[in-house]
C-alpha cells in the first residue's frame, strides 16, 4: 500500500492539499462511541504516511476532544499538513444553538490554536450560517484573524449561494464544505456554479453517503444509540431498504472497474471538478487505505455517462436531515 496522493488546489486561493482529505469527526463524535485514542492517532498518522495532507476537525466534535486528538497526532509533522477546523455553535455544542458573534469567533480560534498545538489555523470555517449575525461581520472577523496571522484561510459550511457571495466580497472564501455524493447532488444546482464563478474550492463531506454507499449498511443494520444516523430520515429502515438499489447499482458498476463501491463513489466525486476535495471519514485503517486508492481509479467520459444515466433514474428515499437540522443549512 504505497498510495501517495496527487495534490489539488482549492479554487483560486492557492491552498494546495491532497486530492482526498480525512474527515476526523467520526473518530470522536457522531457515529457511536469515540474511537480509542491511540488507535485514532495511529489512523491519522497512517493517513499522513499515505499522502493525506488535509485534516478536518471542529470544536463541536466532542466538543473539543477531536481538536485535541488532531493536535497530538499531527504535531510531529505540523508544517506538512493543512488543518481545518470550525466555529459557530454556543460553547461548541450544536444543541445550544448558533453563535458566530465576533467575540465568540475570536475565543474559539484562540482555544482551537491551543488544542491543535499550533500557531495558526490553515482553514477556519463557519460551521453553520448564524441568522443572528450578518455574514459580513463574520467574514470581517475572520479577515482580522488572517491579518493577525492566526488564520490562513476562510471557509463556509452548508451556506447558500447568496451568503457565499456576501462573505466572499468581504474576505475571499477559500472553500465551501457541504454534503455531496452520488446520493446527495443538490449542490450541483446553485452552489457549484457559484463556486466555479468565484474561484472557491469545494470540500464534500459524507462523499460515501455517511457509510451507505460502501455497501456495509443495509436494512437490517442497527446503529449504536449515540449514532447520529438514528435520527436521519434517509436511514430509517424502510428507506434503507428502498435505497438499497443505489448500492446494488454501484456495486455492479464497481465490479466492472475492479474496484469497490466506495472507491467508485469517491472517484465519481473527484471526477466532477478539479477543485473538489472530498473528506471521507473512517475509524478503520483498511477502509482508509481503500478510500485513498480511489484516486487511482479513472472514470472515462463513457463511465461517467453510464453512471449519470443509471443514477438519474433512481429516486433516493428519505430526507438527508431531520427538519430541525435542515433549517440550519443552505442559508
Q: Do 219 and 237 meet the contact criterion of CB atoms below 8 Å apart?
A: yes
Greatest Cα pair distance in the chain: 54
Place of cell 461581520: 137
Residues with a known catalytic role = 61
Alpha-carbon gap, residue 200 to 174, rounded angstroms: 5
Contact 199, 216 (CB under 8 A): no
Amino acid at each position: 500500500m504505497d498510495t501517495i496522493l496527487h495534490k489539488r488546489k482549492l479554487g483560486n486561493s492557492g491552498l494546495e492539499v491532497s486530492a482526498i482529505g480525512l474527515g476526523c469527526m467520526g473518530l470522536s463524535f457522531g457515529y457511536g462511541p469515540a474511537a480509542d485514542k491511540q488507535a485514532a492517532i495511529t489512523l491519522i498518522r497512517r493517513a499522513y504516511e499515505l499522502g493525506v495532507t488535509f485534516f478536518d476537525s471542529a470544536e463541536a466534535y466532542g466538543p473539543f476532544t477531536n481538536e485535541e486528538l488532531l493536535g497530538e497526532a499531527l504535531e510531529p509533522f505540523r508544517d506538512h499538513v493543512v488543518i481545518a477546523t470550525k466555529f459557530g455553535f454556543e460553547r461548541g455544542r450544536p444543541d445550544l444553538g448558533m453563535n458566530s458573534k465576533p467575540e465568540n469567533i475570536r475565543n474559539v480560534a484562540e482555544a482551537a490554536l491551543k488544542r491543535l498545538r499550533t500557531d495558526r489555523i490553515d482553514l477556519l470555517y463557519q460551521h453553520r450560517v448564524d441568522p443572528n449575525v450578518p455574514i459580513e461581520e463574520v467574514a470581517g472577523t475572520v479577515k482580522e484573524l488572517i491579518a493577525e496571522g492566526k488564520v490562513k484561510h476562510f471557509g463556509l459550511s452548508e451556506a447558500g449561494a447568496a451568503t457565499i457571495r456576501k462573505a466572499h466580497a468581504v474576505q475571499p472564501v477559500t472553500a465551501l464544505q457541504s454534503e455531496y455524493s452520488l446520493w446527495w447532488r443538490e449542490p450541483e444546482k446553485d452552489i457549484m456554479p457559484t463556486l466555479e464563478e468565484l474561484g472557491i474550492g469545494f470540500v464534500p463531506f459524507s462523499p460515501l453517503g455517511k457509510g451507505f454507499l460502501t455497501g456495509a449498511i443495509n436494512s437490517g443494520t442497527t446503529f449504536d444509540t449515540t449514532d447520529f444516523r438514528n435520527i436521519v430520515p434517509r436511514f430509517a429502515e424502510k428507506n434503507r431498504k428502498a435505497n438499497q438499489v443505489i448500492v446494488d447499482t454501484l456495486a455492479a458498476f464497481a465490479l466492472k472497474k475492479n474496484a469497490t463501491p466506495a472507491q467508485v463513489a469517491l472517484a465519481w466525486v473527484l471526477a466532477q471538478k478539479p477543485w473538489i476535495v472530498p473528506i471521507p471519514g473512517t475509524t478503520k485503517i483498511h477502509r482508509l487505505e481503500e478510500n485513498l486508492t480511489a484516486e487511482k481509479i479513472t472514470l472515462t467520459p463513457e463511465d461517467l455517462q453510464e453512471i449519470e444515466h443509471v443514477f438519474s433514474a433512481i429516486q433516493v428515499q428519505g430526507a438527508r436531515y431531520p427538519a430541525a437540522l435542515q433549517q440550519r443549512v443552505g442559508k
